[in-house]
Structure 1
Amino acid sequence: MTDKPVDQDDMSQGMNEQDPEQAAEGQVERPAQGGEASEVEELRAKLAEKEEELLRLAAEMQNLRHRAERDIESARKFALERFVEGLLPVVDSLELGIEAAEKENATLEKIREGDEMTLKMLIQTLEKFGVKAVHPIGERFNPEHHQAISLQPHQGEPDHVVDVMQKGYLLKDRVVRPAMVVVSKPK
């Protein structure tokens, strides 16, 4: 280092400027007392605003949860209402069939014809709402869709349905009632 004369102005200027290392050590100039108070008040106002915002969000979430519960309940009710509306014509047809059977000129053929029409209406209504019959004659036995009630020796392939005692039903590919079946076994 070289020895230079130090000017008094240079020394006073150096004292006013903050050294970055000193700033890192916590020797930072502090604002005046009035500035601290206004900063604290500003932070308190921001905190109160955030607390209020948090309360509004919590209330909004609760309202959303209640609205979703009402919507789900309404959807269930509406779906059931549509199903019932679909079945009412079937009920009407059955009532008309009973009235027709009580008349003197009723024939067995007409009653049977009316019953077949009513059954067709019922099946169409069920299919409209996703219900399908399971009538698996000739299919391989499937324990997820069939309930075996007996085994019968048969010349065909083993483990196949040879007779259906009661149809099964699926609701949108979910078993409502398994088909009660007789399954083939080798002779």
Structure 2
Amino acid sequence: MAEEQDKTQNQEAPEEVSQEAPVETPEAAEAEPSLEAQLEAARQEAADAKEQALRAAAEAQNARRRAEKDAENARKFALEKFAGDMLAVVDNLDRALASADRENDTLKPVLEGVELTLKAMVDALARHNVEQIDPTGEPFNPEFHEAMAMVPNPNVEPNTVIDVMQKGYTLNGRLLRAAMVVVAKGA
């Protein structure tokens, strides 16, 4: 009889196991996403996260480049106001030499000193990338020249600079002061 009970229990056990196993119905399959759908969703999330990371890295690199460019421009053009103020000194030294009486022997040492001072000032400005614009004989360029007058002159092409009233200057290629010029006009 003990053997019969064991057989009965063994027969009952598989029934219990089969009762515990979940039965998948079509409604349950629709309610829960399939593994493939979950995998595809995870892949999409990973691709989105990768794209966001790439965009953030590109934005950080762009910000770094802008900061480097701003720092470089600050270094290049830090002297802009100071150089602009020094141009008045150069102009005054030029005017002093232009108006001086070169025939007077007593003024020759003073004129020499003014010439040397002017040369030293122009050289100092040049060492800091301040360059003179002396456009005599060149075509008029409104980016670097300011026309003060137009004079008919049949000997030169129209729109050619024939006289410079005040020299212009650039600082590292950027216009610091436009040259004031007289331009030839056509007949």
TM-score of the two chains, using structure 2 as the length reference: 0.48
**Relative contact order higher in (CA < 8 Å, ≥ 6 apart):** 2
